[in-house]
Each structure stands twice: as C-alpha cells, then as structure tokens.
Amino acid sequence: MSASASILVIVLMLNFFVLGTSRLRAVINASAGQGFALGVLALLAHPHIDADTVLVGVGAAVIKGFVIPTMLLRAMRDADIRREVEPLIGFVPSLLLCAVGTGAALVFSSTLPLAPEHQGSLLVPASLATVLSGFIVLTTRKKAINQVVGYLVLENGIYIMGLTLLEAMPFLVEVGVLLDLFVAIFVMGIIINQISREFGSLDTARLTALKE
Amino acid sequence: MLLALVFLPILLGGIAFVLPSERHRPWLLPLGGAAHLGLTATAIARRAPPMLSGYLVLDSLGTLVLGFTSVLFFLCFLYAPGYLKQRAERPNRVFVACLLVFVGTTSLILLTHHLGLMWVALEATTLCSAPLLYFNHNARSLEAVWKYLLVGSVGIALALLGSLFLAYSALYARLPPSLLLDDLVRDGPALSRPWLHAAFVLLFVGYGTKMGLAPMHTWKPDAYGEAPGLVGALLAGGLTNCAFLAILRFFRILSAAGEAAFARELMVGVGLFSIAVAGVFMARQRDYKRLLAYSSVEHMGILVLGVGVGGNAVFGSLLHLVNNGLTKGVLFLSVANIHRAFASKTVEGTTGAMRLVPVSGALFLLGFFAITGSPPFGPFVSEFTILSAAVSGGRYVVVGLFLLLLVIVFMGMGATVLAVVQGTPAGIDKARVRSPETFLTVAPAVVFLVLVLGLGLYLPPPLESVIRHAAAFEVTR
C-alpha cells in the first residue's frame, strides 16, 4: 500500500474516532491529527514540489493541525466546560451511521469516472466519506465546540477532493480551502466566545429559545 | 467601472469604520446607496465592457439583478439613518461598516463570471452579514447568528465541493482548466456527465441553503426573526436573490451540456416542497417577523418552481424576483416600525397596529395582499405568468398543487396579519409611546409599495426587454 493510501486510511479511521470517543479533548486532537495528515498527504501526493503544493500542504498542516485546535482547546479551557461529548444519539448508532456513510461513499464514487492519474486512488471515496462523517458530527452533537469540529471534518473531506485538482486549478483550491477555513473558524471562534459569556456554557442545546 | 461597483462601497465601509461620530456615521449609508445606484445606472446605460479578462462581466441576468438590488439598497439605506437615530443606545460602527461592505460583496457575486470568485464573494457576504444579525447583542440574536453561520457555512462548503466536482468534470474531459462561466458553457457538451450531475446537486443544495429553500431553510426564521427589519429586507430581497442567480449560472452550464431536464425536475420538486413547508409553518404563526421569514421560503420556492417549469415561466420567475424583493421591502420596513412601537413581535403583544402606527399598519396590510398574489399588485402578475406557462406546458398536477398551496398560504398568513393590524392596542398608553414613524422611516416603505403597485399595473418596455433577455440564459443547441 502506498504512503498516500495509508494516510487516507488513517483519515478514515480518525472519522470513526471523532464519532466514537467520549472525551472532547480527544475529539479536538483527532481532528488536529486529521488536518495534519492531510497537509502531509498534499506534499506526498505530488511528485514535483512547487509553490502551490507547499502553500496548500504546509498551510493546511499548520492551520488545521495546530492553530485551530489550539484555539478550540483554549476556548474549552476558558469557558470551563465539561469534558464529555454530549451526543444526541448514542456512540454506537453514530458509529453505525458513519460505517453506512463510508460504504455509501465507496459505492457512489465507483459510479464516478476517474482521470487516468487518479485511477485506483482512494481520494474521491475518502473525500465523500469524510464529508458525510463531518455532517453526522455537526447534526448529532450538542456542544458548540464539537459542532465546530464537525465543520472541520467536513472541510477536511472537501480538502481531499481539492487535492485531485491542485495541479489544474491551484487558485480555487487554495482560496477555497485555506481562506474559508481561517475566516469561518475565526468568526465562529468569536461567536463561541460570545455564547459562553452570554449563556455560561457552550451547550447549544441551551440555544432553544427560537423554535416553533 | 464594474470594479468601482465592488470597491467603492467597501471603501466607504472602511471610512465608516474609522469615522468617530455615532451621529453622522449613518448618513454614509444613503450616500453609499446613492453612489451605487448612480454607478449601476451608468454601467447599465453605457453597457460597461467586461473587465479583468472576463472575471467581471455585466450580462443580461446581472443587469436585471444588479439594477434591482441597487434600488433595494438605496431605499433601505434611506431608511437606516432614521432607524439608527431611534436606536442610539446601540453603537453603530460595525453595523454601518458591514452594511456597506455587504453592498460591495453582493455586487461582486452578481458581476463575476468566475465561479470560484463568485463562491468567495458569497462566503464574504455571509460573513459580513453575521454582525448585522447580531445588532441587538442579546441571547436570542446570538442564537440566531450561531445557526445562521453554522447552517450557512455548511451550505457554502457543499457549494465548494460542487464547484470542485464541476472542475473535475472538465479535468476528466481533458479540457483546459478554467472556471470561467463562458468557457464552461462553450465546453458544456464535452463535460463528464456523472460528475456534472453530482456537481449540480451539490451546488443546488449548497446555494439553495443560502437561498433558504426547504428543507435547508432552518436558519431563516431565526435570522429574520431576530435581525433588524432593515437587514431582513436586504437578506430577503438581496442576498437570497444572489444565491438564486448563482444557481441559474450553473443551470446555464447544465443546459449547455444538454442536461437541463434533470435540473428542471429537481427544481419543480424542491420549489413545491418549499411552498408547502412555508404554508404549514405560517398557519397559526404567532411571531409576525418569523411569518415573513416563511413567506421568504415560499417565494424562493416560487422562483425555482418557475425556472423548473420552463418556457414563459422563466420570465415570470425573474419578474417575480423583482416583485418579491420590492414587496419584502414594504413588509420588513413596516414591520420594523410596528415592532418598535409595541416592543413585541408576537400576536399576543401586538394588536391594533392600525391605531398606534397607522401608516405602517396600513403598509403591512397592503404588503400582505401584495405578497399573497392579490391583484392589482406586481406579484399577482408574475405568479399568474408562471401559472399560465405551467398550464400551457400541460403540467396540470403542478398547477393544481401550486394553486392549492397559494390558498393555504393566504389563509395562514392572513390570520396573523389581520390579528396584528386590527383591534385596539391593549395595555399600551398611546400618549406615552413615542411613535417610531418619522418621514425617514415611513417614506422608503411607501416608495416600495408604489413600485409594487406600479409593476402590477404597467410593466415598462425597457424593463420587460431586460427581463426577456435575462430569461434567455438557457442554452439550446
């Protein structure tokens, strides 16, 4: 198995870990590990290292692997929130959902034709499976920080898809992946701060004044 | 010229941010709105040429939506100084700056033909509208912003994935890498079909989230319910239309590939579903600002339904874009005055708006008749155009469902609106309430209503010709 395939398998396993573990700190660290692995993947997947590859690879490894997790861990400490993940559905059902999602991603991506240079690569199924896992985290977890992690996992999935296009359209991939992440997380970080000040908790289950 | 439409408002936003005077700063808004309107009018009249090697193009669809949006901005910004004067307890630095930047990024969405840049502009618009929703700085508006950002970001992320899929469909076909709309339309027949289909579904869901189509509309009631009425009007009449325009751009690529039928069925289904969901949640809705949010879900559904039906309904749909946006201006601005007079936005705390704030109450009632498609207002004409196109296309099931849902919406919305407007203000001492109705907070809504009525009675030939050209975005080979 090639190095990039091993990294993608690790990424997929981290999806399950994010959904299956009960400690919030571990969830954040897992998403950091995933982001860092993807940065390395960008450097490994492209034989000739050029400016675009370095920017996307190193940028992702630093931002996804260190900057954002540090911010989230600090928010967690400052807001003094409970360490446990509070899922809306249990851990076993979430893991089952993730398994079904990964299977569906494999089946669906087999219907999409691949360019010769991507034949036999796991990039497309891994991308779709990671997007789905991120979506599951987003919709089934109550804490704001945990939802941000879900969004990060979803973005990681899109990043994997971006790697297939890094040579053809570096601009779109760079702008899309890095700028979006940085700005969105920055703004969400501010809001998280406001939520903890306003509600004294980062549990979005308390954000229930607005409903039918 | 086109570049100025994007950068002038952003520059003014920067000035607003450094200007120290809380009292004078809001006047930058009408100034910026007037400058934008003037520039837009000049660009349209002179047929401004493309700029930056095809990145910025004023095409017929852009002409229609930009022209309309500019009018909307101008009228809403005329309202702003009067509103901010009454809300002098809240600092307005960030609010004014973000409103102006919002104008710039919105113009960029409408002008750019580069699909990646369009995505960036929509993302920027989402981010700078978050502080607008949070203007009241309370727990409820914070909750609304959180949902708006989270749902909106996921939608935008899916749209990015869709853009990547679209790029891959060109990569697979060994076409020169480009995300310029015109290149993709030219190369449409060569694009890889499976990737193209998946891309359109992702883009439709992603930008549909920004549009607020059901079932991706969940951010909308909260956001519109908690945002100042002025912001509601800009989102419901401005941002959502931009997302619709983005979907139309991708629809154009799909039709160039000969796959329009696939997109059509999706749009008819989602359109009818949105109207139905809105109808269900409007019935017995106690909160009249959330009522307007569901009305927006309904009308976004009508817009995609019209495009899905095809033929002359596309014309009706684009006309409806204008009519709906103008009517939303009437509704949101009048409701904002009612909300301030009663300090409540539920039916329980608000009865007899007609007595306490007579002009706004009357505008709200007339706006209700207009938005539900009663003659002689504009939305009647556009909805009728869509219906008659569906009849002549033989889509009788669609016609039946559409009519039934319109009746349900009329009844549901009517019950709440009449409860707010009629009766006597209970528990409110009229002499002690300082009326929020001043010339500046009433006149823009009146102008919106006059325009809605005017478009119902008479469609000026120049406007009709712009809409005709814009409606021909579909590529037939």
Closest by Cα among A195, A189, A188, A165 to A177? A165
pLDDT (0 to 100) of residue B352: 82
Q: What is the number of structural domains in chain B?
A: 1
- Element spanning A45, H or E: helix A24-45
Query: B138 phi and psi, to 5 degrees?
Result: -125, 175
Helix (H, G, I), strand (E, B) or coil at B456: helix
DSSP letter assigned to residue B50: P
pLDDT (0 to 100) of residue A179: 62
Cβ B194 vs Cβ B201: under 8 Å: no
Q: What is the pLDDT of residues A94-137, one digit of tens each?
A: 899 999 999 999 999 888 888 888 887 888 999 999 999 999 99
Q: Is the pLDDT of residue A33 over 70?
A: yes
B-proximal residues of A, 124-163, CB under 8 Å: 131, 135, 138, 144, 147, 151, 154-155, 157-158, 161-162
B139/A209 CB distance under 8 A:
yes
Which of A118, A171, A180, A201 is the mutation pick for testing B, counting most B CBs within 10 A? A180
- Average pLDDT score over residue span A158-165: 88
pLDDT (0 to 100) of residue A186: 63
Q: Which residues of chain B have pLDDT under 50?
A: none
What is the per-residue DSSP string for B139-156?
HHHHHHHHHHHHHHHHHH
pLDDT (0 to 100) of residue B268: 95
B168/A164 CB distance under 8 A:
yes
Which of B94, B146, B187, B222 is the mutation pick for testing A, counting most A CBs within 10 A? B146
pLDDT (0 to 100) of residue B433: 67
Any domain includes B477? no
Any domain includes B385? yes
Kindly report whether the global pTM for this prediction surpasses the value 0.90: yes
pLDDT (0 to 100) of residue A1: 58
Q: Taking the CA atoms of B104, B109, B113 and B116 in sequence, report the sign of the dihedral they define.
A: positive
Q: Is A176 on the interface with B (CB under 8 A)?
A: yes
Q: Tell me the chain B residues in contact with residue A164 when contact means C-beta distances shorter than 8 Å.
A: 164, 168, 171
Q: Is the pLDDT of residue A185 over 70?
A: no
**Which residues on adjacent β-strands are paired with residue B56?**
B51, B112
pLDDT (0 to 100) of residue A204: 67
What is the per-residue DSSP string for B106-145?
HHHHHHB-BHHHHHHHHHHHHHHHHHHHTTT-SHHHHHHH
Model ipTM value: 0.90
Task: Strands of B314-448 (E only): list them.
Answer: none
Any domain includes B114? yes
Any domain includes B476? no
DSSP letter assigned to residue B90: S
Residue B18: give the domain boundaries: 2-471
A207/B147 CB distance under 8 A:
yes
pLDDT (0 to 100) of residue B477: 61
DSSP letter assigned to residue B214: T
Q: Is A111 on the interface with B (CB under 8 A)?
A: yes
B194/A111 CB distance under 8 A:
yes
